[in-house]
Amino acid sequence: MPKQSVAVIGALTHIGQAVLACLSDRDFPAARVYALDAHQNAGTMIPYCDGFLTVEALDDFNFADVELVFLCVSSILAEYKEEAAHHGCWIIDCAGLLTHAPVIIPSLNIRQAEQAPNRQIANPTGMTVTLAQILSPIHRSFHIDYATVTALLSASEFGLESAQALIDQTRCLYTRQEPPLGPFRKIQAFNLIPEADPCLPRRSMKQMEQLLSFPTFIAGCLTPILLGECYAVTLTTRRPCSPKRLRRLFDKHPCCHVLAGEMDYITITTQDVETEDRIFIEHPTTDAASPHVLHFWVVSDSIRTGAALNAVKIAKHLLS
């Protein structure tokens, strides 16, 4: 693979930092990686490989120097996207701005990326990447008629402001101070907020509709978890799918691991997946009333394992 330069716009956002971590951990063969952010953040040092990257001001950047751009901040002004497109850069949108670009998950439809109009690709939400990678192989083997998902979302899914608010609220509640509200109308700490931001589940449902051939309903709930997420999944399948069959299906899957045997009494939690690139399927059970209804839990770090790693895989394919 020839070495070409890439840029991460919004390098100090949560998704931007996750993309840089995935590029570093996987020894992404780039000639140079540029970390770009707002002018006031220029000069910030970010760990990368065995050293550091210095954040550069987006205002002063020449997009002719790079072949591919990771777009990781929704507040970016339109001219930067247009300037990158003008120089023929591939643009992988990790911020949900390119609503008409093709949605790509390499294991499902990477060939569509090569014909993307204007070289612009929509990286799915971490929720979409996680769920689609699990549901697609199940659908091929057992034919899913319908999927229902309850997503227990972490603060990091909604950005650094939400994550910092959870930390500040927790500290204030312990010290009996007035906790800051943060980006939501209710306190996150020690609380559950159903449908805190319905836009995320709706966007994921729309993306799932583009990627899979069966309907998926997703309800979201914000939890007082800092990183990592859980999904309670219920599937209705045409062919019965037992826990043993589910485990056999994913036995050789590189990204997913099923805990379904008699020895699998240890539960994987959101803290356990902070350093994991795998998606875990836990406690699969068939419905007592029907062998065609399957329930299970999914645990993953959807920011890193989902959105960021997916974007890096797309980039590696495009630049190969």
> Is the Cβ–Cβ distance between 229 and 220 less than 8 Å?
no
Rounded CA separation 220/197 (Å): 8
Residues 148, 45 within the same domain: no
Number of structural domains (the chain) is 2
Q: What is the pLDDT of residues 163-216, one digit of tens each?
A: 999 999 999 999 999 998 888 889 999 999 998 888 889 999 999 999 999 999
Q: Which residue has the tokens 């539960």?
A: 267
**Mean pLDDT on 221-237:** 94
Give the residue from 43, 47, 101, 112 showing the smallest Cα distance to 69: 101
Rounded CA separation 230/301 (Å): 9
Rounded CA separation 170/179 (Å): 8
Per-residue model confidence (pLDDT) at position 261: 59
The edge-to-edge listing of strands for the beta sheet with 290-300 is: 193-194, 216-222, 144-153, 229-237, 290-300, 279-287, 256-259
The answer for residues whose C-beta is within 8 angstroms of residue 207's C-beta and 6 or more apart is 103, 122, 124, 125, 128, 132
Residue 46 lies in a domain: yes
Using the CB atoms, write b or e for 248-271: b if 16+ within 10 Å: ebbeebebbbbbbeeeeeeebebe
Residues 89, 153 within the same domain: no
Q: What is the pLDDT of residues 309-320, one digit of tens each?
A: 999 999 999 998
> Predicted confidence band at 284 (pLDDT cuts at 50, 70, 90)?
very high
Q: Across the chain, what does the average pLDDT equal?
A: 90
- Residue 10's SS3 state is coil
Residue 228 lies in a domain: yes
Percent of the chain residues topping a pLDDT of 70:
96
Indicate if the pLDDT at residue 124 is higher than 60: yes
CATH code for the domain in which residue 82 is found: 3.40.50.720
Residue 1 lies in a domain: no
> Predicted confidence band at 90 (pLDDT cuts at 50, 70, 90)?
very high
Which run of H or of E encompasses 159?
Answer: none
Per-residue model confidence (pLDDT) at position 77: 67
Residues 184, 273 within the same domain: yes
Per-residue model confidence (pLDDT) at position 111: 92
Per-residue model confidence (pLDDT) at position 128: 95
Residue 187 lies in a domain: yes
Per-residue model confidence (pLDDT) at position 82: 83
Residues 262, 202 within the same domain: yes
CATH code for the domain in which residue 272 is found: 3.30.360.10
Identify the residue with better confidence: 152 or 271: 152
Residue 206 lies in a domain: yes
> Is the Cβ–Cβ distance between 277 and 255 less than 8 Å?
yes
- In the chain, the amino acid numbered 10 is G
Per-residue model confidence (pLDDT) at position 207: 94
State residue 283 phi and psi, 5-degree precision: 50, 50
Rounded CA separation 292/145 (Å): 10
Indicate if the pLDDT at residue 78 is higher than 80: no
> Predicted confidence band at 92 (pLDDT cuts at 50, 70, 90)?
very high
Q: Which residue has the tokens 């996750």?
A: 18
> Predicted confidence band at 146 (pLDDT cuts at 50, 70, 90)?
very high
- Residue 263's SS3 state is coil
Per-residue model confidence (pLDDT) at position 127: 93
**Mean pLDDT on 106-124:** 92
State residue 88 phi and psi, 5-degree precision: 80, 20
> Predicted confidence band at 132 (pLDDT cuts at 50, 70, 90)?
very high
Residues 208, 78 within the same domain: no
Residues 102, 142 within the same domain: no
Q: Which range is most confident: 89-98, 129-138, 182-191?
A: 129-138
Q: What is the pLDDT of residues 36-67, one digit of tens each?
A: 998 898 999 999 988 899 999 998 899 999 99
- Domain range for 89 is 6-124+307-319
Residue 79 lies in a domain: yes
Indicate if the pLDDT at residue 1 is higher than 50: no
